[in-house]
Amino acid sequence: MLSVKNELLAALATALDALSPGAGTKAAFESPKVAAHGDFACTAAMQLAKPLKLNPRALGEQLKAALDAAPAFQRWVDAIEIAGPGFLNIRLKPAAKQEIVREVLAAGERFGYQPDHGQQVLVEFVSANPTGPLHVGHGRQAALGDAICNLFATQGWKVHREFYYNDAGVQIDTLTKSTQLRAKGFKPGDDCWPTDSDNPLAKNFYNGDYIADIAEAFKAKATVKADDREFTANGDVEDYDNIRGFAVAYLRNEQDKDLQAFNLKFDEYYLESSLYTSGRVEATVNRLIANGKTYEQDGALWLKSTDYGDDKDRVMRKQDGTYTYFVPDVAYHIAKWERGFTKVVNIQGTDHHGTIARVRAGLQAADVGIPQGYPDYVLHTMVRVVKGGEEVKISKRAGSYVTLRDLIEWTSKDAVRFFLLSRKPDTEYTFDVDLAVAQNNDNPVYYVQYAHARIQSVLRAWQEAGGSDVASLKDVDLSALEGPQAQALMLQLAKYPEMLTAAADGEAPHDVTFYLRDLAASYHSYYDAERILVDDEAVKKARLALVAATAQVLHNGLAVLGVSAPARM
Secondary element (H or E) of residue 326: helix 326-338
Residue 197 covered by a domain: no
Q: Which of 69, 92, 115 is the last residue of a domain?
A: 92
CATH number at residue 458: 1.10.730.10
Consecutive 10-residue runs of the chain (569 residues): their mean pLDDT?
89 94 91 84 91 91 95 95 91 94 97 96 96 92 98 98 91 92 92 64 73 97 96 98 97 94 95 96 97 96 95 95 94 97 96 92 97 96 94 69 91 97 95 97 97 98 94 95 95 96 97 98 97 97 98 98 97
Alpha-carbon span 388 to 154, nearest angstrom: 39
Q: Is 506 exposed, middle or buried (0-12, 13-18, 19+ CB in 10 A)?
A: middle
In a domain, 11, yes or no: yes
Q: Is residue 341 part of a domain?
A: no
Residue 496 lies in a domain: yes
The CATH number assigned to the domain holding 19 equals: 3.30.1360.70
Domain boundary among 92, 126, 143: 92
Cβ-based neighbour number of residue 35 at 10 Å: 11
525: in domain? yes
Give, as one character, the DSSP assignment of residue 89: E
| Cβ proximity of 338 and 363 under 8 Å | no
Is residue 452 helix, strand or coil? helix
Which DSSP category does 42 fall into? Answer: E
Closest of 421, 429, 431 to residue 507, by C-alpha: 421
Residue 84's pLDDT is: 87
Q: How far is CA 475 from CA 102, 168, 358, 505, in A?
A: 7, 61, 58, 34
Q: How far apart are CA 346 and CA 166, in angstroms?
A: 16
For residue 509, how many other CB atoms are within 10 A of its CB?
28
pLDDT at site 485? 96
β-sheet bridge partners, residue 429 = 383
pLDDT score at 36: 80
Tell me which of 63, 92, 121 is where a domain ends: 92
Q: What is the residue range of 519's domain?
A: 441-561
| Helix pair angle (94-107, 537-561), 10° resolution | 60
**Nearest-5° Cα angle at 271, 268 to 272:** 140
Read out DSSP for 422-442?
SS-TTS-EEEEHHHHH--STT
User: How many distinct structural domains can be found in the chain?
Assistant: 2
Asked, for residue 76, whether it belongs to a domain, the answer is yes
> Beta-carbon neighbour count of residue 368 at 10 Å?
13
- Tell me the Cα Rg of the chain: 29
- Domain membership of residue 343 (yes or no) is no
